[in-house]
Amino acid sequence: MNKNLGKVLVVDDDRDVLLAAALFLKQHAQFVRTESNPSLIPSLMNDESFDVILLDMNFTRDVSSGQEGFFWLDKILELDPLAVVILITAYGDVELAVRAIKAGATDFVLKPWQNEKLLATLSAAMAIRQSRTEVEMLLSRQHQLGEDLDQHFHGFVGNSRRMRQIFATIQKVAKTDANVLILGENGTGKELVARELHRQSQRSGNVFITVDMGALHAGLFESELFGHVRGAFTDAREDRAGRFETASGGTLFLDEIGNLPLTLQAKLLAVLQNHEVTRIGSNKPKQIDIRIISATNMPIHEMVEEKKFRQDLLYRINTVEIRLPPLRERTDDIPHLVTHFLSQYSKRYHKSRLLVPPATMKRLEHYQWPGNVRELEHAVERAIILTEDEVLQPEDFFLTDSEGMSDSSGKEGFRLNDVEKSVIQKALSKHGGNVTQTAKELGLTRTALYRRLEKYGL
């Protein structure tokens, strides 16, 4: 039997009620604890994290007013603000039910209950508990990220003129709610820019939600972004908020937006124009308050001219445009980046601080870095892992020229990995960075291609 209710605590002074609840709920819950003495609630909650708590409103000393139930409801929420509490009573007082829900209860049931109704109520409560937990985790991670990034442009390394200009633009734009479009090749740090814009914004205390637009299947696009109500389609077993609702109050990062089909661009445009979304299966629009940051490695302005991307949508998403230069156009930043990655990965792999002599640094500066900063980072990490010396030599970095031939040791010769990397690079270039089309031409799934892109730092 599928047990979806998680951990349930039932508190009632009627032992017959406790027995009936235990016998029924053990068929549907992972764990059921019953207790007749409410004074033990604090110690029980200290020992176990319950997903749902069924709490009687009337104990022996006060059998009708519900005051004990309200007292213990307050105590439970004090101990766990995310607790999901369902109050139970033999007295069907609507006013009492309203007071209970206003006081923080999730729902209200009468006893004796019908098992089917109780199960439905607990299932809905379990979904609420999961949502609260997920939101708390997300906000906690967001807060932790803010604490960790206690300096401007954490993760950004560079002192070149181009990068200083980008830093200045970020500082100006971040304080506004202007929509931003970030352009640049794979591996140039587009998501870092998006996160920095959010971190320096007035929305930094709220969520930062990322959506890989290129990975969204057309059939799931509306459900993922806009949400759905229960029964809207075959697999819609419960109400679900989409990414736009989840991001409300914060920032929504639409990555790979250039890969979005025209049919879906129109739906996205409507949401951005109206500042509201309607879940699939519902006719009630929900207002949203989000800042949109988009990114692509595609030539999006050329795509507009070719009628592959809507001009009106482009106007909506690029109030401010930030172009990230490829690493080959800011080679004076390479020594700073190498030093940064050396420090980072030497600590991770418990190695003493390694040195990079001038000959090695010159070789790194002269390499074209088709995978940009991401490729450089992977190259440094791999060199640190494999070296047994304290000085990193040019041959410790497995670099390839544009034809896919190894020059890491000064000797020419094909290697399987080098050839595969070169083929992938050429296919990506042919299709303008479109991962779906590249994977199709190479006879790979998108997942398999993503693994190779990660492997080769592309």
Distance CA 57, CA 83 (A): 16
Lowest-confidence segment of 125-134, 156-165, 197-206, 415-424 by average pLDDT: 415-424
CATH architecture group of domain 7-134: 3-Layer(aba) Sandwich (3.40)
- Give the 3-state DSSP-derived string for 404-447, with helices as H, strands as E and coil as C: CCECCCCCCCCCHHHHHHHHHHHHHHHCCCCHHHHHHHHCCCHH
Q: Which residue has the higher pLDDT, 346 or 240?
A: 346
pLDDT reported for residue 193: 94
Distance CA 12, CA 18 (A): 7
438: pLDDT strictly greater than 80 = yes
pLDDT in tens, 287-304: 899 999 999 999 999 999
Residue 281: band (very low, low, confident or very high) from pLDDT cuts 50, 70, 90: confident
- Which sequence spans correspond to the domains of the chain? 7-134, 157-325, 328-456
Q: Which whole number is the average pLDDT over 270-277? A: 90
pLDDT reported for residue 408: 40
437: pLDDT strictly greater than 50 = yes
Q: Which residue has the higher pLDDT, 400 or 179?
A: 179
Which among 31, 40, 45, 82 has a CA at the least distance from the CA of 59? 40
**Contact indicator for 45, 122 with CB cutoff of 8 Å:** no
Q: Which whole number is the average pLDDT over 337-344? A: 92
pLDDT reported for residue 429: 78
Q: Which residue has the higher pLDDT, 53 or 58?
A: 53
pTM of this structure: 0.58
Q: Which alpha helices (DSSP H) does 48-183 contain, by range?
A: 67-79, 94-102, 115-148, 161-174
CATH no. of 157-325: 3.40.50.300
Helix (H/G/I), strand (E/B), else coil: 345: helix
Distance CA 394, CA 274 (A): 56
Residue 400: band (very low, low, confident or very high) from pLDDT cuts 50, 70, 90: low
In the predicted model, what is the mean pLDDT of the chain? 84
Distance CA 336, CA 157 (A): 7
Q: Which whole number is the average pLDDT over 228-244? A: 81
pLDDT reported for residue 435: 82
Q: Which whole number is the average pLDDT over 14-20? A: 89
Distance CA 200, CA 341 (A): 24
Q: Which whole number is the average pLDDT over 93-116? A: 81
* 7-134 and 157-325, same CATH topology: yes
Q: Which whole number is the average pLDDT over 182-195? A: 93
Which among 325, 320, 314 has a CA at the least distance from the CA of 175? 320
Q: Which two tokens stand for residue 25?
A: 């709920």
What amino acid is encoded at 226 in this protein? F
- Report domain 328-456's class: mainly alpha
Lowest-confidence segment of 129-133, 246-250, 281-285, 409-413 by average pLDDT: 409-413
CA atoms within 13 A on the CB side of 355: 6
409: pLDDT strictly greater than 60 = no
